[in-house]
């Protein structure tokens, strides 16, 4: 049996039947796809320029680790903020992400990532997934990232964004970050992206020999960026300047 052509034919009123050419003055499906692709490419190009400018500013402030700067160039920060805030995604400031939480300013993300001194072979524990942006930067730099977020909606959103960008070396779970992730420990590196009154003991216990942790420690309003190292079983601490993060909530931190 002969089949009808799949390219469509014109009807009596001059309009095209399914599969045919669109009426004059109306964009066909392919034209609409091409237009959307062009707009997307222009948008990606604009964000790429803004991202490069962001990285140059971070480098000028003293973050010089080439692997960290390369990771910041690759991760599309605008994908981790609300659409209405995307034009501000590459400014050096935090932005709200809902649930009274924020995405950290890019400089702090670069600084904390560089302080971890990642080589690409480490298993990293992140406390406070938030938007997932810091998680993505870590995923570019480490072998595996285990990230804990106490707020289910943020965890779900971050997981979806990370999966959409193709990160397959990240695990995100909902839980009390101050307790760490004992089943996956010990960790070569630990990063805490919320401020608590002291270093949570379970995190120290899950830090591998030769491991390093970066976290803000201090009051609910102001903290000091602190580096904790496990050197042959001896725990050493040093500070690296003032900072300000949202509160770390949990058994070994602040009440909600």
Question: What is the dotted CATH code of the domain comprising 38-243?
Answer: 3.40.50.150
Which one of the listed residues 40, 104, 114, 219 is annotated catalytic?
A: 104
Which sign, positive or negative, has the C-alpha torsion 99, 252, 196, 54? negative
The full set of domain ranges for the chain reads: 38-243
Instruction: Pull the structure tokens for residue 18.
Output: 């399914």
Checking if the pLDDT of 78 tops 90, the result is yes
**Residue 113 annotated in active site:** no
What integer pLDDT is reported at residue 45 of this predicted model? 85
Comparing CA positions, the residue from 67, 146, 145, 58 lying closest to residue 110 is 58
Instruction: Pull the structure tokens for residue 142.
Output: 């480490």
Dihedral angle over CA of 69, 187, 143, 91, nearest 10:
-30
Please give the mean pLDDT across all residues of the chain.
Answer: 88
Cα(1)–Cα(14) distance, integer angstroms? 28
Cα(241)–Cα(255) distance, integer angstroms? 25
The 10s digit of each residue's pLDDT in 147-173 is 999 999 999 999 999 999 999 999 999
The 10s digit of each residue's pLDDT in 212-247 is 999 999 998 899 999 999 999 999 999 999 999 999
pTM of the model: 0.83
The 10s digit of each residue's pLDDT in 167-220 is 999 999 999 999 999 999 999 999 999 999 999 999 999 999 999 999 999 998
Phi, psi of 49 (to 5 degrees): -65, -40
CA end-to-end distance (rounded Å), the chain: 72
Q: Are 130 and 97 in contact (CB under 8 A)?
A: yes
């Amino acid at each position: 049996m002969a089949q009808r052509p799949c390219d469509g034919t014109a009807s009596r009123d001059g309009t095209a039947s399914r599969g045919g050419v669109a009426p004059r003055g109306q964009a066909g499906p392919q034209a609409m796809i091409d237009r959307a692709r062009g707009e997307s490419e222009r948008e990606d190009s604009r964000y790429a320029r803004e991202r490069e400018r962001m990285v140059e500013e971070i480098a000028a402030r003293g973050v010089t680790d080439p692997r960290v700067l390369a990771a910041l160039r690759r991760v599309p920060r605008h994908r981790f903020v609300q659409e209405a805030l995307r034009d501000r995604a590459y400014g050096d400031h935090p932005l709200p992400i809902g649930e009274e939480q924020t995405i950290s300013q890019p400089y702090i993300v670069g600084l904390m990532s560089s302080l971890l001194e990642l080589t690409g072979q480490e298993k990293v524990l992140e406390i406070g997934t938030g938007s997932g942006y810091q998680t993505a930067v870590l995923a570019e730099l480490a072998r595996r990232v285990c990230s804990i977020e106490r707020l289910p909606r943020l965890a779900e959103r971050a997981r979806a964004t990370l999966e959409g960008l193709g990160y397959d070396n990240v695990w995100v779970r909902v839980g009390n970050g101050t307790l760490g992730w004992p089943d996956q420990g010990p960790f070569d590196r630990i990063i805490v992206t919320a401020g608590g009154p002291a270093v949570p003991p379970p995190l120290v216990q899950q830090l591998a020999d030769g491991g390093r942790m970066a976290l803000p420690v201090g009051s609910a309003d102001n903290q000091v960026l602190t580096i904790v190292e496990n050197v042959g079983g001896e725990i050493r601490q040093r500070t690296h300047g003032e900072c300000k993060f949202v509160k770390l909530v949990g058994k070994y931190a602040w009440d909600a």
